[in-house]
Amino acid sequence: MLDNAKLCELLGLSVSEVEHWSPAKRNAAIAVPESENHYKFIPRKKHPIAKRFELARFLGDYLLTEQPGQWLASTDLSTSRQKYQRAFAAEFLCPIATLREFLQEDYSETAIEDAAEYFQVSSTTVESMLVNNGLLSSPLPVDYTESRLPYRLGI
């Protein structure tokens, strides 16, 4: 399990900096490049678990962009970049192999909650990892998860 100190270290932050963040209400978190390989982080999440996930998303975004000086952003949009960040953060904080070992084929609600606490992620993250890896069925109907236009075409 990756602790917060190591996660912060990977981003060049101290744990105390992150713990003392008091983000304003905003729709996106950003990391603004200040110099080569140094960013000013402007977070949006307050809850410790959500902060942790947001930091992991920033790390995933940094690895994805591979361009020094690139702004990093974490939003609730459903763009491919944001989906990549969420998938990266989930696997980085809660690797499926380790999750499977922890759960030992017990996918009950209690076991999922225990795993979420152990990996310091949300229960939703654990459930998503299990669904995405074929260990649980999705609670959503198949066609609900497919992309659709928000309106009908009048053709």
pLDDT in tens, 107-154: 999 999 999 999 999 999 999 999 999 998 876 655 544 555 555 555
**Which pLDDT score is estimated for 141?**
54
Does the pLDDT at position 24 exceed 80? no
Distance, CA of 54 to CA of 29 (rounded, Å): 8
Quick one: what percent of the chain has pLDDT higher than 70? 89
**Closest to 56 in 3D by CA, of 37, 27, 31:** 31
Q: Poorest-confidence range of 43-57, 95-109, 136-150?
A: 136-150
User: What are the structural domain ranges in the chain?
Assistant: 1-77, 94-138
- Residue 65's pLDDT band (cuts 50, 70, 90): confident
**Closest to 133 in 3D by CA, of 108, 81, 98:** 98
**Which pLDDT score is estimated for 26?**
74
Does the global pTM surpass 0.85? no
* Tokens (6 digits) for 41: 């982080």
Give the helix/strand (H/E) hosting 117: helix 109-119
**Which pLDDT score is estimated for 123?**
96
Distance, CA of 105 to CA of 118 (rounded, Å): 16
Characterize 92-114 residue by residue with b for buried, 16 or more Cβ atoms within 10 angstroms of its Cβ, and e for exposed: bbbbeeebbebbeeeeeeeebeb
